[in-house]
């Protein structure tokens, strides 16, 4: 194992976030606050409890998930796309590092940033809504698992993308809609039955519900199914990354 | 037999589009030498370096670097190699110091401030260590790339067009630095368009064209074999024929009898002796002359004739 390589890649990537610390933290804090003001206070005050918790508290796991998905993906994708774009990737490709070390560095740093953001959002949410977490360990586990999974997904995206517009398009055009339609702001039980079935094909439903279970001890989907689906997605991303390094896809000619 | 540090055997590379960049390349680099790889654009120089350094996947063939197969034992092979790429690809927002620390760690070495300081001092970059790379000039960025390549103490250094777009003074400095590196035991392989550079620095020269190594030779041998000196002597009075005393030289007389041409093969030291010998002989024969002009073929001429011959 080339531990030094993991150390420097990880530090280099986190350094990138620290240089832009203000934007990195301010953006999610502001947008989460806006969601709480609009959905939590303005609309939420008109709504009854959902699944035994107030609407404001109900949307917290979904909001955290929304940020985790988009931030992990865009962070990790930029992390690997940028050196590809500037040409500095040559150094990583010529270094005595294996897939595992490259991933641990790049994906580890992106996931770390996401976990920190998730915690910041949870703290921000506390200012608006009093909430209790039923399963703190499971919450932490899901937070880390989903950050890692979507950072891996971002890594794949960053290797695949051949332009900045694609990097932005995927989080904006695919992840955000999936997150919004995945029960972030509502329980899927509120939908007509036909739409409930359609929703079950949205992978984000499982992530949000797994996280919500960890928070409040109940959700629309069984927690084990949620966990299973998350692990399946993680495995798919890992398989694609393994394939990328095996074939050299878009990295080595 | 000199100890070899890189052995390349039957290396082939065909890119996806079908372009065959390397054809059955065999090449051996000796430990401690400066090897110059010459070739026109698109000859396969960068592909060859790319394969040895792990950036390009070979279609077939083997490469052993410092005793390690680059595919089977890639960690050890790559740890021995430093690469200075052709493009000025640098991480603009980090400092010089941070980027060389990154390079050292990436290649699996524990931090070593002393070594990195020495590398920066040798490259006259020490006072720039806290500057962001974006603020440096092109020549300095090139030196930062060299510093990055040396950060992990490689035994083999690849310089891909190290002086492209570098001013004359800096080029001289860089040549000096390369010589110092060689003295410290590093084997250096450089590609260049500037024949002058190869002539100045290399111990051996390889010529690659259309993916094939067409020649590998000691620089002095190459110059001896293919180097030419042309001497043109314009006479005050035309001669009707060549005096027999001059026939020992490969000399010809122009039709009007006013000019003597001497074509000498070999390295400049030998040919200069021949040329002065001829002039002394002329003086002894009381043949007066108006001017003497000497021109030496450079490696460039040799290279052009080689490549042109190959292209026919």
Domain boundaries, chain B: 4-223, 228-296
The yes-or-no verdict on residue A152 having pLDDT over 50 is: yes
Q: For the stretch B281-302, what's the b/e string if a residue is b when 16 or more beta carbons lie within 10 angstroms of its beta carbon?
A: bbeeeebebeebeeeebebeeb
Q: What are phi and psi of B60, to 5 degrees?
A: -160, 170
CB contact under 8 A, A252 and B148: no
Nearest Cα residue to B156 out of B55, B24, B49: B49
Q: Long-range contacts for B267-272 (Cβ within 8 Å, ≥24 apart)?
A: B267/B220, B267/B223, B267/B224, B267/B227, B268/B223, B268/B227, B268/B229, B268/B296, B270/B224, B271/B227, B271/B229, B271/B296, B272/B229
Contacts of B140 (CB under 8 A, 6+ apart): B125, B128
Taking only the tens place, the pLDDT of each residue in B136-158 is 988 889 889 999 999 999 999 99
Q: Does B70 touch chain A (CB under 8 A)?
A: no
* B4-223 has CATH 3.40.50.300 classification: yes
Is B234 in a helix, a strand, or coil?
strand
Nearest to A95 among B93, B101, B107 (CB): B107
The yes-or-no verdict on residue B214 having pLDDT over 60 is: yes
When pLDDT is cut at 50, 70 and 90, the band that residue A24 belongs to is: confident
Q: Does B19 touch chain A (CB under 8 A)?
A: no
The yes-or-no verdict on residue A52 having pLDDT over 80 is: no
Taking only the tens place, the pLDDT of each residue in A106-124 is 999 999 999 999 999 998 8
Neighbours of B129 (CB within 10 A): 16
- Pick the more confident residue, B303 or B24: B24
Q: Which residue reads 């209790």 in tokens?
A: A132
pLDDT over 70 for what percent of chain A?
Answer: 100
The CA-based angle B160-B163-B167, given to 5 degrees, is 165
Predicted pLDDT at B78: 94
Q: Which residue reads 């809609």 in tokens?
A: A177
Residue A252 belongs to a domain = no
The yes-or-no verdict on residue A130 having pLDDT over 70 is: yes
Q: Does B108 touch chain A (CB under 8 A)?
A: yes
Neighbours of A72 (CB within 10 A): 30
Predicted pLDDT at A119: 92
Q: Does B98 touch chain A (CB under 8 A)?
A: yes
Contacts of A53 (CB under 8 A, 6+ apart): A131, A216
The chain A residue lying nearest B149, using CA atoms, is: A91
Nearest Cα residue to A185 out of A31, A46, A72, A65: A65
Q: What is the pLDDT of chain B when averaged over all its residues?
A: 87
Predicted pLDDT at A10: 95
Tokens for B223? 């110059």
CB contact under 8 A, A15 and B94: yes
ipTM tops 0.90: no
CB contact under 8 A, B105 and A7: yes
Residue A253 belongs to a domain = no
The yes-or-no verdict on residue A47 having pLDDT over 70 is: yes
Nearest to A91 among B75, B92, B148 (CB): B148
- The pLDDT of B17-21, averaged and rounded, is 90
Residue A120 belongs to a domain = yes
* Rg, Å, chain B Cα set: 24
Strands B4-14 and B228-235: unpaired
Distance from C-alpha of A51 to C-alpha of A54, rounded to nearest angstrom:
8
Residue A141 belongs to a domain = yes
Predicted pLDDT at B311: 52
What is the domain count for chain A?
A: 1
Contacts of A4 (CB under 8 A, 6+ apart): B104, B105, B106, B107, B108, B109, B110
CA-based torsion, B177, B181, B182, B186: positive or negative:
negative
pLDDT over 90 for what percent of chain A?
Answer: 35
Give the count of Cβ contacts less than 8 A between chain A and B: 82
Taking only the tens place, the pLDDT of each residue in A177-234 is 888 888 888 888 888 888 888 888 888 889 888 988 998 888 888 889 989 988 998 9
Nearest Cα residue to B67 out of B4, B109, B9, B11: B4
Q: For the stretch A1-13, what's the b/e string if a residue is b when 16 or more beta carbons lie within 10 angstroms of its beta carbon?
A: ebebbbbbbbbbb
Distance from CA of A79 to the nearest CA of B (A): 12
Contacts of B162 (CB under 8 A, 6+ apart): B84, B142, B146, B174, B178, B190, B192
The chain A residue lying nearest B74, using CA atoms, is: A96
Nearest Cα residue to A34 out of A122, A133, A115, A125: A125
Residues of A near B (Cβ–Cβ under 8 Å) read: 2, 4-5, 7-9, 12, 15-16, 19, 83, 86-88, 90-98, 248, 252-253
Nearest to A90 among B16, B89, B101 (CB): B89
CB contact under 8 A, A86 and B94: no
- Pick the more confident residue, A99 or A51: A99
Predicted pLDDT at B312: 46
Assign domain B228-296 to its CATH architecture: 2-Layer Sandwich (3.30)
- The pLDDT of B76-100, averaged and rounded, is 91
- The pLDDT of B265-280, averaged and rounded, is 76
CB contact under 8 A, A252 and B53: no
In a mutagenesis test of the B interface, which of A10, A16, A88, A97 is the best target, namely the one with the most B β-carbons within 10 Å? A88
pTM for the model stands at 0.84
Q: Does B54 touch chain A (CB under 8 A)?
A: yes
């Amino acid at each position: 194992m080339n531990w030094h390589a993991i150390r420097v890649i990880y530090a280099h990537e986190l350094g990138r976030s620290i240089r832009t610390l203000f934007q990195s933290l301010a953006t999610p804090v502001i947008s989460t606050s806006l969601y709480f003001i609009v959905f939590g206070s303005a609309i939420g005050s008109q709504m009854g409890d959902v699944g035994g918790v107030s609407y404001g508290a109900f949307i917290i796991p979904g909001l955290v998930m929304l940020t985790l998905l988009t931030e992990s993906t865009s962070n990790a994708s930029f992390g690997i796309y940028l050196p590809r774009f500037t040409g500095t990737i040559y150094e990583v490709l010529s270094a005595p590092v294996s897939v595992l070390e490259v991933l641990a560095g790049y994906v580890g740093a992106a996931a770390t940033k996401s976990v920190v953001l998730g915690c910041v959002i949870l703290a921000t949410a506390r200012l608006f809504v009093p909430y209790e977490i039923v399963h703190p360990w499971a919450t932490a586990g899901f937070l880390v698992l989903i950050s890692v999974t979507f950072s891996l997904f971002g890594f794949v995206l960053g290797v695949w993308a051949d332009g900045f517009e694609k990097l932005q398009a995927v989080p904006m055009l695919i992840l955000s809609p999936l997150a919004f339609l995945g029960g972030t702001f509502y329980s899927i039980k509120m939908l007509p039955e036909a739409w409930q079935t359609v929703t079950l094909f949205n992978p984000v439903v499982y992530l949000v519900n797994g996280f919500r279970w960890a928070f409040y001890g109940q959700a629309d989907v069984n927690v084990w199914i949620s966990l299973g689906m998350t692990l399946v997605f993680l495995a798919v991303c890992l398989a694609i990354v393994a394939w990328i390094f095996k074939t050299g896809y878009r990295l080595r000619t | 037999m000199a100890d070899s540090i890189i052995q390349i055997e039957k290396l082939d590379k065909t890119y996806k589009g079908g372009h065959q960049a390397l054809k059955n390349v065999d090449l051996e680099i000796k430990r401690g030498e400066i090897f110059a790889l010459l070739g026109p654009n698109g000859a396969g120089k960068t592909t060859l370096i790319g394969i040895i350094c792990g950036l390009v996947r070979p279609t077939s063939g083997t490469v052993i670097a410092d005793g390690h197969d680059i595919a089977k034992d890639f960690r050890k092979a790559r740890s021995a190699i430093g690469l200075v790429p052709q493009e000025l690809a640098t991480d603009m927002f980090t400092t010089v110091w941070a980027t060389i620390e990154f390079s050292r760690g990436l290649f699996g070495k524990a931090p070593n401030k002393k070594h990195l300081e020495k590398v920066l001092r040798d490259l006259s970059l020490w006072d720039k260590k806290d500057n962001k790379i974006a603020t440096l000039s092109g020549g300095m960025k090139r030196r930062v790339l060299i510093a990055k390549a040396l950060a992990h103490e490689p035994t083999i250094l690849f310089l891909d067009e190290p002086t492209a777009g570098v001013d004359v003074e800096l080029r001289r400095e860089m040549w000096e630095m390369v010589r110092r590196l060689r003295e410290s035991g590093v084997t250096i392989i450089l590609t260049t368009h500037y024949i002058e550079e190869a002539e100045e620095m290399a111990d051996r020269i390889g010529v690659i064209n259309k993916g094939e190594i067409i020649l590998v030779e000691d620089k002095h041998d190459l110059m001896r074999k293919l180097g030419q000196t042309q001497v043109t002597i314009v006479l005050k009075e035309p001669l009707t024929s060549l005096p027999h005393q001059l026939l020992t030289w490969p000399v010809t007389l122009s039709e009007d009898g006013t000019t003597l041409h001497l074509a000498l093969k070999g390295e400049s030291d030998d040919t200069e002796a021949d040329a002065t010998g001829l002039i002394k002989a002329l003086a002894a024969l009381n043949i007066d002359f108006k001017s003497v002009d000497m021109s030496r073929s450079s490696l460039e001429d040799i290279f052009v004739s080689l490549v042109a011959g190959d292209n026919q």
